[in-house]
Chain A
Amino acid sequence: MNAAHDNHFQPVAAQQPAGLDRHGMDELGSDLSALVDGELDAQALDALLQSLAEDEDVRATCMGYQVIGEVLRGGAPQPSTLPPHAFVAGVRSRLQADRVSSVSPSVSVSIDLPVRAPAANDAVFRWKMVAGVASLAAIMAVSWSVIGGAPASSGGGAAGPQMALLQSPAGVSLANVVQPADQPTALVVNTAQGPVLRDARLEQLLAEHRQYGGMSALQMPAGFLRDATHTADPQR
């Protein structure tokens, strides 16, 4: 079968929009038909978008094709709630309202902003000078504290713990835990794994926090906690 043979059957001429001849209508209808089937190519889509415009007949034709599909697929056709042009217009107006509402908040904010009354001393220049000098002094004071404190923090280890003690909310308990070296309260016990500290506070701490005792996340005994406090001579 070829295309020429196919042309023997001609459908009854449909009502055609002004400006479109029979050939144009066939092209348009054919494009619409392909669109309904999802088989329209990009070039034909361009032509269809140009023709579609506000043409109610084209939309009605498209709907007609869909009704035919519904019937042939075994379903009962149901009336549309709105004609296509009214439905599309409704969607458009909602989108338009959506855009307007998304823009309007910034407008209302700009209107609602309170206007500050000018200060009584705005006109006096020396007050502005005073404000400027005060700002400069504040900046210098901050700079002095930052620059002046830098060598101390970078120079020795003493400042570090002090800062930690000052900043820690648990500073008091931390001070209690860290004992001076000249007051040993820990007992060094020689075990098969080497010398281990036995400190009463450490034992209490580990007893209270058993989740840190036993096995670690690495599935190794948590003896390293005691090793970490070992103050004896290094093994190597």
Chain B
Amino acid sequence: MTTSEDNTAPPTPDSDAMLVQRTLAGEQRAFDLLVIKYQRRVERLIGRMVRDVDLVPDIAQETFVRAYRALAQFRGDAQFYTWLYRIAVNTAKKQLLELKRDPLVFQSQLQSGDDDETSSSERELNAQVADEETPDAVLASKEIAQAVNAALEALPEELRMAITLREMEGMSYEEIAQTLDCPIGTVRSRIFRAREAISNRIKPMLEHQSGKRW
């Protein structure tokens, strides 16, 4: 593990932008990584727009296909997810129009999710979707959340601080390094080990809960 990086290291280029460049250069795996990274977020977004859960994977996959076709137009002015978000919304709207179905959520409600997915309205939307889940799925979701929180509490303080600053405060590695007064490599290592510790706690729960894949 790299722990020798100093605080004054130049900012690294955006990982997503690098993956886009690699994809445009013909590296299919790079696009696979983008798909893996954003599958859940795109599915959740589309899940908020459509009533029929069975449509979600189809629209989500179509979103990535459209993104792939338009990838050369991504100039990196905005975050990759912001760009992908718009494609997902437009794809969902088009599909719903073709099926002559109404979206579950109005566009105005979705606007707030454009920049920051942790906004309060998005949480409300998540709660709304959670209300429409089956009781089994809601129970499983609660159990996973409890396990994550319990694992977080059991972490050594330095790991807990690192992952809290990252996930809850949304800080970059550089900002966390400055806050905790340690090298960026150490921050990266702590966040990884915190995730690994929590992941090991919840992994059995994620395998197959209520017949679904998490």
Contacts and interface: CB of A to CB of B under 8 A. Distances in A.
Given A12-B200, A77-B214, A87-B35, A6 B189 contact: yes
Contact of B144 (A61, A67, A74, A95): A67
Given A11-B196, A30-B189, A38-B16, A48 B33 contact: yes
Given A63-B206, A81-B56, A73 B196 contact: no
A4 to B, nearest CB: 8
Given A8-B156, A52-B32, A79-B209, A74 B123 contact: yes
A64 B158 contact: no
B51 interface: no
Nearest to A46: B22
B164 interface: yes
A73 B167 contact: yes
Contact of B195 (A6, A52, A65): A65
Task: Report the interface size class on chain B.
Answer: 35 or more
Nearest to A98: B65
Given A37-B173, A84-B36, A84-B39, A78 B44 contact: yes
Interface in B141-196: 141-142, 144-145, 148-149, 152, 155-156, 158-159, 163-164, 166-168, 172-173, 180, 182-183, 185-186, 188-193, 195-196
A209 B138 CA distance: 76
A216 B109 CA distance: 52
Interface in A156-200: none
A11 B118 CA distance: 28
Contacts of B18: 40, 42, 45
Contact of B65 (A2, A64, A91): A91
Contact residues on A (Cβ < 8 Å of other chain), bracket = 35 or more
Nearest to B172: A39
B37 A68 contact: no
Contact of B197 (A9, A38, A53, A60): A9
A37 B37 CA distance: 10
A37 B123 CA distance: 20
A61 B1 contact: no
A87 B61 contact: yes
B12 A39 contact: yes
Interface string A35-71: 1111111100100110011000001111111111111
A29 B196 contact: yes
Identify the interface centre among A8, A10, A95: most chain B CB within 10 Å of its CB: A95
Interface of A: 1-3, 5-6, 8-12, 14, 26-27, 29-30, 33-42, 45, 48-49, 52-53, 59-84, 87-88, 90-92, 94-95, 98
